[in-house]
A and B are shown apart, each in its own frame.
Chain A
Amino acid sequence: MSIDGTDDQPYLVVDDLRVRFATEDGVVKAVDGVSFSVPRGRTLGIVGESGSGKSVTSMSILALHNPRRTEVSGSIRVDGRDIVTMPEEQVRRMRGRDMAMIFQDPASSLHPYYTVGRQIVEAHRIHNRVSKQVARKRAIEMLDRVGIPQPDRRIDAYPHEFSGGMRQRAMIAMALVNDPALIIADEPTTALDVTVQAQILELLADLQREFNSAIILITHDLGVVSQVAHDVLVMYAGRMIEAGTVDEVLRSPEHPYTVGLLESVPSLRDDPDEDLRPIKGNPPSLIHLPSGCAFHPRCAHQLGDGSPCRTLVPDLLPATGHRAACHLPAERRAEIRAAISENLEVA
């Protein structure tokens, strides 16, 4: 992935991240060897279905897991400092100041008993020694910046007095109040209607241009990724299976799972009388992962009994650029891609 010109190292560098939870039924390998980096000014989309590990990855960057039940290894360097080995006290000082999170459901992420303004003021004053008046002025500025009308009056409203879209804007104002360099947005528009979703995505892109932030956008919606991300990481069963720029991954996918995902999304432009083309089967259990490539039981192109698809976990290759974890020979993958290319290479 590309490196930003001003820094020697990307703002966020995640290396061989592994996250495990002990549960009653066994150990869940929620994230299994994930590496990526995000420079300032760039947006990485992490795509995957439920249980793929995309949300767990983002939660580990903010160190939001219960340390007693979670085992985290590998490194997560934010601005050169490793979150994994850092004492909780220090992580807390970085959270909200250097990195912030925008959650999926604005209704449950804002405190219902406090006014919106009070919550933004608090987020600002935790990291800045300023008076309440100064912080309030800053909160009004932020509400104005995210497009809330009459911010000087709306600041004293409670979350329930806001619509869903307004709440998500207030969440964004709260996340950005300390100018964090890294923003993690976990399905920020999934709970919103399409017309409001379009507004929020536009706002995020504007804010990124203005503040030159590094953004991680977690989503299951490939349409959203194609619209706002620069780079994409596709996850399946806790592992990275494909990574590259948006154009590389969405226009010429290498992994049969990515191909399958792209194929299963209905478009406004395909033939509505044809059946959709889903991926067969169901996502695997993270406790009893299939051997070899975790996708092989659902893969229409796997090489069959005794093949590496069933016995060996594939590496993500090549080392840089557009990478995929699949045992199929390159020619075979080109054929799979060619079969769907008429749907992808439009315009």
Chain B
Amino acid sequence: MTEPLLKVESLVKHFPVRGSGAGRHVVLRAVDGIDLTVDRAETLGLVGESGCGKTTTGRTIVRLAKPTSGKITFDGHDITNLGQRALKPLRADLQIIFQDPYASLNPRHTVGSIVAMPLVVGRIKPPGGVKARVQELLEIVGLNPEHYNRYPHEFSGGQRQRIGIARALALQPKLIVADEPVSALDVSIQAQIVNLMRSLQREFGLAFLFIAHDLSVVRHFCERVAVMYMGKIVEVGDRHEIYETPAHPYTRALLSAVPDMNAPAGHKRIMLTGDVPTPIDPPSGCRFRTRCWKAQTKCAEVEPLLAKGPGGSLVACHFPEIGPLAGVQPKTAEEVAS
């Protein structure tokens, strides 16, 4: 099939801001016109810092929030304005995994009933019964199926995230939106969950929209990566394009700020000054220009649009960077040998 599984066009999500001046219509521009696609069985990473709109994008795509404008097409259906009832049959194919494994499981329900919930709500009778299917799911995510009757508090953070994953898998979805699924976990556990999602992705041919701020984790999970800044996608491309020859100055700054034990000695980091401006009143032209070391007058006047950049990715910048980024290159043959 040539049509992508998920197609997002000019998606906008604004939130009204309370307590603003009399009569003035003030909005927070969380997502401000983005396009993205996810193919079947593809993994797309959506990265950016807090407040850039990545979580809102994810929530709008699974229609936990209503888009302000734009169009979302999922598996051939226009789901932009569907009501909850009309969405229900599509929910089976479109699931979400949340960030906080403590807040996303009802503490009064047993693990069995949490994982069974999508089946019950969807009135789905799996062959062999609900209980057998739930136990199978628990086994798939690496939990003991005999723990069916236990409550969430009896599990550690990593195990709870496995429960959340089992619940998302219950209806055999085509796309999972995973919103920071490992950022609340300890590093030794984080690696377990990333490996689990990788194996599920391969085994069931799942497509993932993986939302994260940790660039090293995204690199291990996603074939394509989109970088967001203040409600816009500033760069999108294949993994090697984004990590090896990033073209947007912001992508470069993000990558170079990652504290990496394996960074070669003398690795110079790009130090951004200042904080992210407020999304209520974003800068004119390029939104990154207030923190960018390459900004010129044109950047304030003309908003850059995504276009093919020097490194192969699509980049929204008037003065994109060319060539590899020092310090985050894959190891050279000599380094591996030494």
Q: What is A's interface to B at a CB cutoff of 8 Å?
A: 49-50, 163-166, 193-199, 201-202, 220-224, 226-227, 250, 260-262, 264-272, 275-280, 282-283, 342-347
Contact = CB atoms under 8 A, between A and B. Distances in A.
A280 B186 CA distance: 12
5 contacts: A194-B259, A196-B275, A198-B257, A268-B216, A282-B159
B198 A268 contact: no
Given A198-B269, A199-B271, A266-B216, A49 B254 contact: no
Given A194-B254, A278-B189, A266 B262 contact: no
Given A266-B216, A266-B217, A347-B265, A278 B259 contact: no
A49 B262 contact: no
Interface residues of B, number: 49
A226 B261 contact: yes
Interface of B: 49-50, 156-159, 186-192, 194-195, 198, 213, 215-217, 219-220, 239, 243, 253-255, 257-265, 269, 271-273, 275-276, 328-331, 335-336, 338
A14 to B, nearest CB: 24
B186 A49 contact: yes
Given A194-B254, A269-B328, A264 B219 contact: no
A278 B188 contact: yes
Q: Which 6 A-B pairs have the closest CB atoms?
A: A223-B259, A278-B191, A347-B264, A193-B49, A276-B191, A49-B186
Q: Which of A221, A224, A282 has the most CB of B within 10 A?
A: A282
Contact of A342 (B213, B260, B336): B336
B155 to A, nearest CB: 9
Given A49-B186, A342-B336, A166 B275 contact: yes
Contact of B276 (A163, A226, A269): A163
Contacts of A283: 156, 186
B264 A194 contact: no
Contact of A261 (B187, B265, B272): B187
A143 B234 CA distance: 33
A329 B101 CA distance: 39
A221 B328 CA distance: 18
Contact of A50 (B186, B255, B259): B186
A199 B187 CA distance: 23
Nearest to A202: B271
A195 B250 CA distance: 10
Given A198-B272, A269-B328, A346-B264, 17 more contacts: A194-B215, A194-B258, A195-B253, A197-B257, A260-B188, A261-B187, A265-B261, A266-B219, A268-B216, A268-B219, A268-B243, A278-B189, A343-B262, A345-B338, A346-B331, A347-B263, A347-B335
Nearest to B159: A282
A262 B262 CA distance: 10
B198 A279 contact: no
Contacts of B187: 49, 220-222, 261, 264-265
Nearest to B330: A269
A164 to B, nearest CB: 7
A166 B274 CA distance: 9
A169 to B, nearest CB: 10
Given A50-B186, A276-B191, A282 B261 contact: no
A268 B258 contact: yes
Contacts of B257: 194-195, 197-198
Nearest to A282: B156
A247 to B, nearest CB: 11
B194 A266 contact: yes
A267 B216 contact: yes
Nearest to B264: A347
Given A195-B253, A224-B259, A264-B190, A275 B195 contact: yes
B335 A346 contact: yes
Contacts of A201: 259
B19 to A, nearest CB: 12
Contacts of A277: 191
Contacts of A227: 259
B256 to A, nearest CB: 8
Contacts of B276: 163, 193
A245 to B, nearest CB: 14
A165 B257 CA distance: 15
Given A266-B194, A282-B158, A344 B262 contact: yes
A346 B265 CA distance: 9
